[in-house]
Amino acid sequence: MPETNKRATFLTLGVLAFLAILPPVALALDRPYMVTLANRMLVYALAAVALDLVMGYGRMVSFGHAAFLGLGAYTVGILHHHDVMMTPFLFGWAGSNEALLAWPLAMLVAAGYALLVGAISLRTGGVYFIMITLAFAQMVFFFFVSLIAYGGRDGLVMFSRNSVAGTDILGSRVVLYYVCLGCLVAVLAFLVMVVRSRFGRIIEGCRQNEQRMRALGYKPFVYKLTAFVLSGALAGLAGALLANHSEFVSPDFLSWESSGLLMVMVLLGGLSTLVGPIYGALTLFALEEVLVAYTPHWQLVLGPVLILAVLFFKGGLYGWMTGKRTG
Amino acid sequence: MTQALLRAEGLHKSYGGLVATRHLDLDLHAGEIHAMIGPNGAGKTTAMGQLSGELAPDAGRIVLDGEDVTRLSMPARARRGIARSYQITAVFEEFTVRQNVAVAVQAMARHHFRMVRPARRDPELNAGAEEALGRVGLLHLADEVAADLAHGQKRQLELAMVLATRPRVLLLDEPMAGMGNAEVDAMTRLLEELRSHYAILLVEHDMDVVFRVADRTTVLVDGAVLASGAPEAIRSDARVQAAYLEESA
């Protein structure tokens, strides 16, 4: 549980401050692509923080979180597509390019899917849970691959970013960046509150000893499912942001590699810390950026780095930097 | 005596060819400690599992205060006042002692979906937790992480969790297993204090404890009741001596 630890608070504020001043600095240094890269990192960090709620606090190891991301992105992409093409989407509705409508809908779609997947897969645990969440995510992946009307394998191009209350402020890359950063900070603050609450304590109790929770009168399934749906909805929000960032949605967003990447971010940054996954995402994107300059086979270097990190930093980067052992 | 608070009628459970519970009748009254003894493999824990709802009996029924609870799940029975502790210590190792009991308090306090206020500073949960910890004499360790407790202290903590759910029926599965002499003595005195407030079913191997605290004793052998009655009568029962006491001596 993220506790009030001066060093941890200092580090977290430091990272957030760094992210806050990044765009003006990158632009001053004439490196606008840094903003793009960092924005992508923010979006994945948001999904990884959401994953930590279930993976870290509830020990529900979901290997299918990219599906929530992808569903969020496709919701935004498809609504945009119909809006631009002026073709009816559902019941004569021609879609929408409005963020205030499309983003909540993206979260709702992801939440609905999470409810379905959770209701089935939470009846299992351990390795079975990992495999079932992966299987569901692969189903969604192949669904979109075969959905020719929305680009199939090639994905769907967005001709503009979403409008916000009718304005096109997201047209500015810097504005979009700060919107993403705002969402990340808001989600982080919300989840820190959730894990410290009565509900959060139940989730942690279920992780430690489900049988004991039943004997006390709790029905673990209900709370685990709620956490799973919450996590899915927030990953769906990340997907909506990803669509706007990329101005493109693709089945690649839903690939199992993408799910794996989110898990790596959580593990590398620090399981059950919520803040840790942000460190994980930052490190992973930075490593990729540095290594890719030397070799196209950068993952060959990344692999061992990850293995060593997971082996030697038990509490992830966050635990290592704050001197805390968690997870 | 008044009507039984918890009653089992004709409980029967078998695993393949092995009969674990054989047409078991058992009753438990408020204000009494009913000890269940028997050699290893007699089916004591299996019987307890059926009373608490972890295991479903093949036949028979379980009645709590006039209500048939045979088909109710363990959480549902827990909310109706049946609390159990485990033979193998089951506490939340990563939580502090206070948090362990607070989770138990919260089980009855509801508001499980409250996601706003921090549970750590929840006065309702902490007050209830501290009261239960005070009763078992563990309040001074409230801020320790449960994993750091000594074995005997974990057993006390488990009892505090059971009490914190404000139950009517306590199903205690060897609460003194693995305890030292002084701890056994303290726990025995605690059970005597608790007697008047609850209906307690106690599975225990320590015969001195059983004869000291039990109002009634039931001897289980091969899943069936061999004898049941006052401890003195049980102690002098020839069949019991043959089947159990001498064997374990």
| Residue ranges covered by each domain of chain B | 1-81+167-249, 89-166
| Local confidence band at A178 (pLDDT 50, 70, 90 cut-offs) | very high
Average pLDDT of chain A, as a whole number: 92
Please check whether the domain covering B1-81+167-249 is classified as CATH 3.40.1260.10: no
pTM: 0.91
Average pLDDT over residues B113-117: 84
B108 touches chain A (CB under 8 A): yes
Query: Which residues, other chains included, contact B7 with Cβ-Cβ below 8 Å and sequence gap of 6+?
Result: B26, B27, B28, B62, B63
Residue A164 sits at φ, ψ, to 5 deg, of -120, 115
Per-residue pLDDT tens over the stretch A234-260: 999 999 999 999 999 999 999 999 999
**Residue A156 bridge partners (DSSP):** A249
Cβ-Cβ contacts under 8 Å, B108 against chain A: 217
DSSP state of A28: H
Confidence of residue A301 (pLDDT cuts 50, 70, 90): confident
Residue B242 DSSP one-character state: I
Looking at residue A323, its pLDDT comes to 74
- Does the beta carbon of B165 lie under 8 angstroms from any beta carbon of chain A? yes
Task: Calculate what percentage of chain B has a pLDDT beyond 70.
Answer: 97
**Shortest CA gap B203–chain A (Å):** 17
How far apart are alpha carbons A232 and A226 in whole angstroms?
Answer: 10
The verdict on B145 touching A (C-beta cutoff 8 Å) is no
The helix, strand and coil proportions of chain B, stated in percent and rounded to the nearest 5, come to 45, 25, 30
Q: How many domains does chain A have?
A: 1
**Encoded tokens for B191:** 């059970």
Considering only CB atoms, B103 lies closest to which of A194, A197, A201, namely A201
High-pLDDT (> 90) share of chain A, %: 77
| Cβ neighbours of A198 in B, within 8 Å | 106, 111-115, 117, 119, 122, 125
Q: Which residues contact A12 (CB under 8 A, 6 or more apart)?
A: A275
Q: What is the dihedral of CA A231, B111, B108, A274, to 10 degrees?
A: 30
Beta carbons of A216 and B107 less than 8 Å apart: yes
Q: Is residue A147 part of a domain?
A: yes
pLDDT in tens, A55-67: 999 999 999 999 9
Is A292 contained in some domain?
Answer: no
H helix intervals, chain A: 6-28, 32-52, 65-85, 99-121, 126-145, 173-196, 198-208, 210-216, 220-246, 256-269, 276-292, 298-312, 316-322
Q: Over the stretch A38-49, which tens digit does the pLDDT of each residue have?
A: 999 999 999 999
Q: Kindly list the residues from chain A whose CB atom is less than 8 angstroms away from the CB atom of residue B113.
A: 198-199, 226
pLDDT of res. A1? 42
| Range in A112-121, A311-320, B62-71, B172-181 the model is least confident about | A311-320
Which residues of chain A have a CB within 8 Å of the CB of B104? 216
Query: Which of B112, B122, B148, B157 should be substituted to probe chain A, the one whose Cβ sees the most A Cβ atoms within 10 Å?
Result: B112
* B51 has pLDDT over 90: yes
Residue A224 vs residue A304, higher pLDDT: A224
Q: Which of B72, B74, B126, B169 to mutate to test the interface with A (most CBs of A within 10 A)?
A: B74
Domain that holds residue A43: 6-256
Q: Which pLDDT score, from 0 to 100, does residue B246 have?
A: 55
Chain B residues with CB under 8 Å of A204 CB are 92, 94-95
Q: Kindly tell me if the per-residue pLDDT of A293 is higher than 60.
A: yes
For residue A320, being part of any structural domain is answered with: no
Is A266 contained in some domain?
no
Number of neighbours of residue B196 by Cβ within 10 angstroms:
9
**Residue A1: inside a domain:** no
Mean pLDDT over A279-285 rounds to 93
ipTM value > 0.90: no
The CA distance from A108 to the nearest CA of chain B, in Å, is 19
The secondary structure element, H or E, covering residue A293 is: none
A-chain residues near B122 (CB < 8 A): 198
